[in-house]
Amino acid sequence: MIKAVKGARDILPPSSSVWNRVEAAARSVFESYNYREIRTPILEETRLFARSVGEETDIVGKEMYTFEDRDGTSLTLRPEATASVMRAYIEHRLDQQPGLKKLYYMGPMFRRERPQKGRFRQFYQIGAEAIGSDSPMVDAEVIEMVIEILERAGLSGFQLLINSVGDAKCRPKFIGVLRERLREAAPRMCADCQRRAETNPLRVLDCKVPADQPVIDSLPSILDSLCEECRAHFEAVQQYLTDRGIPFEIRPRLVRGLDYYMRTTFEIVHGALGAQNSVLGGGRYDGLAEALGSKTPAPGVGFSIGEDRLVMTVEETHPGALAQSLDVFIAPLGEEARRHSGVLARDLRRGGLRIEVSTEEKLKRALEVADKLGARFALLVGENEMQAGKYQLKNMASGEQKAVAREEIAAAVNHTE
């Protein structure tokens, strides 16, 4: 038997209905904030991610699915979408269009990580990018928008964490101080931290190994190294969030794993996810366009939601989210009734009801199937019902049964909701 590839999975009903509701909630919020959808290829040239994400990151170094095309070009299944969005922004000269460019995306990403709770090798992200402004007001609006998405998706009890990682002026100085301190501290840390201490020191601060936390807590804080511009920017973001009544916690150790982030970084975490409790992450990336070869600066800020983890959290905190009600199960008795029921079902579906037509020959078996499917009503259609122009509508919960005319079915079903 052939099974799904390790780290990939099938999303089956009824869970798929929760995915649809989460995505519908996100699209509704994006529209209200004037974001428009962008769809980029799943395949990109490998150098796009090497330049943007960073040669020394774990993603580029260990996790990407990369292969050589027939013409010798190195291609990669996208491990994240921000670089692809910015590549499209530059390639199609979206900077020539007026105003802030607000773009959102949904789709699969690929990383060869160790599969664990809520993490897969083919995973899904919902994200957005606001490109064309370095204003801290945009940062706050993006954070406000993502909180609105989570709440409409049915998530509560989450926590917003924020930090600033400086910019090209002040961050190198902090990295130098951090690297110096790590020369003494790294030997007492995990193997990944020992490697990152030289290749990508900021990532040491993001280590989740419990034994390393006391060492990390003793390391210098990036907030002590911010230049005046970055400090003022971060303070303004905090003020805008406070104005909106959005609670947050400053986490000086919060960094993003990708090289293009600068200034504002943020994460939203939820206790239902265990130790690896991040639902989403985001931040500002003002230098990414230049890193990808653009001669025109394009400051931006965005986020990506781990949709797998969000859906899992919604399912765990709201068990009823999986419930899907079948409105009417039509049980035709005989071939003529079956033909009649097909047209009847079409008309009821056009009225917005969820309808299933039985293929069973016997009424008893049809009612058993209706019960197993969780149908609210069964509609009995036989020769007598067709001649009388009235059908027997049975409430599956109460057992009550009554005759209803064709034009009364929808009202009778909706009246009990």
Domain 325-415: which CATH number of 3.40.50.2000, 3.40.50.800, 3.40.50.620, 3.40.640.10: 3.40.50.800
6: which DSSP letter? T
Q: What does each C-alpha distance from 44 to 4, 90, 115 come to in angstroms?
A: 24, 15, 24
Cα dihedral 109, 111, 112, 114 sign: negative
Collapsing DSSP to helix, strand or coil, 375 comes out as strand
For the packed helices 171-185 and 191-199, what is the interaxial angle rounded to 10 degrees? 140
**Burial classification of residue 1, based on how many CB atoms lie within 10 Å of its CB (0-12 exposed, 13-18 middle, 19 or more buried):** exposed
Q: 15-170+226-319 has which fold? A: BirA Bifunctional Protein; domain 2 (3.30.930)
Q: What does the alpha-carbon distance between residue 193 and residue 199 come to, in Å, rounded to a whole number?
A: 10
Q: Which residues contact 397 (CB under 8 A, 6 or more apart)?
A: 376
Beta-sheet pairing, 43-45 with 122-131? unpaired
Would you write out the chain's pLDDT as a tens digit for each of its 417 residues?
Answer: 999 888 889 999 888 988 999 999 999 999 999 999 999 999 999 989 887 665 555 566 568 889 999 999 999 999 999 999 999 999 999 988 888 999 999 999 999 877 666 678 999 999 999 999 999 999 999 999 999 999 999 888 899 999 999 988 888 888 888 888 888 877 888 888 888 887 788 888 877 788 888 888 888 888 988 999 999 999 999 999 999 999 999 998 887 666 678 899 999 988 755 545 788 999 999 888 888 888 888 999 999 999 998 998 888 877 765 666 789 999 999 899 999 999 999 999 999 999 999 999 899 999 999 999 889 999 999 988 888 889 999 999 999 999 999 989 999 888 765
Each domain of the chain, given as residue ranges in start order, spans: 15-170+226-319, 325-415
